[in-house]
Copies of this chain bind each other. A is one copy, B any other.
């Protein structure tokens, strides 16, 4: 290797580190997306979730295992989805509270600088779609030489409509012919329709997709210059934080002065003079509303997009999603959205879907649990779902992941009958521990200490039938929990 080759190899990293922002909890796509099961974890086509698709499109020879940033209470769900998608996360940074993208990215960059110095970060929101992944990868390859020269590169999506819900990036029209990567002239806020139309006509404006490529150390330099408070806070958060398996908890309440939520666009991009943009056509959308889902779907001859057991009679311009075994039939409607999933139904005029968040807020105020929760409750060891209930009994389907172990516990007011329907359970009842195989059952009387674990290599599915006079989740006395919890099932 010549000196010159060595120097180029040092400048160009071996691979790119995907840094996936997975902290959102938007309600604009309720009821498919809920506070406890946000949009990025949902599937919009019956296949992998948006997060899983995001991970998948940043894998392959060009990429290292991903770093993710998410909320504490989503950690197992995020980890499980990434692993179920076939990837092993490098690290999952757990935010104790959401502070928007600038603090989150500052912590991620600091973690990389401390633990994996010299890496290039590809910042990806976890809840977007990109139809043309080769175009995306080609844009990344075009950006890399600029990144090696210290640029902060953003990806500018060539607008296909005068969308008023996105920010825009302006460039000097002359510069567009100079090469694939162009210096940014200006970041522009979400425009009015008039302005958006002018932007699209000009050819010099691109949608700001929130996707960035830069060296972690370059970003830290910029944030230290333009938002020194955040930089100091992030440095303290990472140096004072602690690992917990694949998880990393920053010391968020650290010695640096407290900081306010702020986006990376405001804090860094609009101020930095190192920012360049790669214009790209890649079939991108942020799936920001049901209308967006409708417009990206295949339509029948009347402009309807139908999913699941949906029948649209004399209906036009509508999106109808029937989840699970639910049937949805529409009659004599125009431009509506009907989404029926997991115990909740939204019926909205299509031009009003931007207000779905307000509807969810109003539902929440009525105390309706369907506002925030789906029927599947996620736990560190797996999940459960109540499938039937009455005054004196309740049935649940319990799924325990391979290696998962529930806490040692007892209930005062209910007995439990367990039937293993798939996989193998390791059951402890009182002093006795035994294996329970498919099509075998056992009984745990009220007041008996018991524990359930999956010692096998495949998920354990178990049907639990609870009998008793009080069936609340809070009738639990916990003795020992491998996940360090005191109050969860």
Chain B residue contacts of A461, Cβ below 8 A: 390, 393
Do B313 and A331 have beta carbons less than 8 Å apart? no
| Cα distance, A419 to B414, chains bound together (Å) | 14
A388, B392: Cβ atoms closer than 8 Å: no
Contact residues, A330-364 vs B (CB, 8 A):
330-333, 336, 338, 340, 343-349, 351-353, 355-356, 358-360, 362-363
The answer to whether A344 and B359 have CB atoms under 8 Å apart is: no
Is B421 touching A363 in the complex (CB atoms < 8 A)?
A: no
A330 → chain B closest CB, angstroms:
5
User: Nearest chain B CB to A36's CB is how many angstroms away?
Assistant: 15
Decide: A329 and B345 in contact? CB cutoff 8 A. Answer: yes
A463 within 8 A of B: yes
Are A345 and B333 interface neighbours, CB within 8 A? no
Q: Let me know if B352 and A331 touch, CB within 8 A.
A: yes
User: Which of B325, B328, B359, B419 has a CB less than 8 Å from the CB of A347?
Assistant: B328
Q: In this complex, what residue of B is CB-closest to A313?
A: B359
Across-interface contacts of A415 in B (CB, < 8 A): 439
Size bracket, chain A contacts: 35 or more
A397 within 8 A of B: yes
B463 contacts A327, C-beta separation under 8 Å? no
Whole-angstrom distance between the alpha carbons of A359 and B328 in the complex? 11
With A415-B439, A467-B439 in contact, do A393 and B366 touch (Cβ < 8 Å)? Answer: no
A356 to chain B: closest residue by CB: B331
With an 8 A cutoff between CB atoms, is A293 at the interface? no
Which B residues are in CB contact (< 8 Å) with A325? 343, 370
Is A336 in contact with B347, judged by CB distance below 8 angstroms? yes
Cα distance, A342 to B360, chains bound together (Å): 23
Within A275-309, which residues are at the interface with B (CB < 8 Å)? Answer: 309
Q: A residues 367-408 with Cβ under 8 Å of B? A: 368, 370-371, 385, 387-388, 390, 392-393, 395, 397
Cβ contact within 8 Å between B326 and A352:
no
Docked Cα-Cα span, A421 to B392, in Å, equals: 7
Q: Is A448 on the interface with B (CB-CB < 8 A)?
A: no
Residue of A326, A336, A345, A363 most packed against chain B (CB within 10 A)? A345
Cβ-closest chain B residue relative to A325: B343
Q: In the complex, which residues of chain B have a beta carbon less than 8 angstroms from the beta carbon of A368? A: 309, 311, 327
A55 contacts the other chain (Cβ, under 8 Å)?
A: no
Give chain B residues whose Cβ lies under 8 Å from the Cβ of A387. 387-388, 395
Report whether A326 and B345 are in contact in the complex, using a CB–CB cutoff of 8 Å. Answer: yes
Given that A309-B370, A327-B363 are known contacts, is A421 also in contact with B390, CB under 8 Å in the complex? yes
A465 contacts B419, CB within 8 Å? yes
Q: A269 near B: Cβ within 8 Å? A: no
Q: Mark A441-454, 1 if CB is under 8 A from B, else 0.
A: 10100000000000
Of all A-B residue pairs in the complex, the 6 with the closest CB atoms, nearest first, are A332-B352, A332-B349, A393-B421, A327-B370, A331-B348, A387-B388
Beyond the given pairs A332-B348, A392-B421, A393-B422, 6 more chain A to chain B contacts, judged by CB atoms under 8 angstroms and listed by A's residue number, are A309-B370, A340-B345, A395-B397, A439-B467, A441-B465, A465-B465
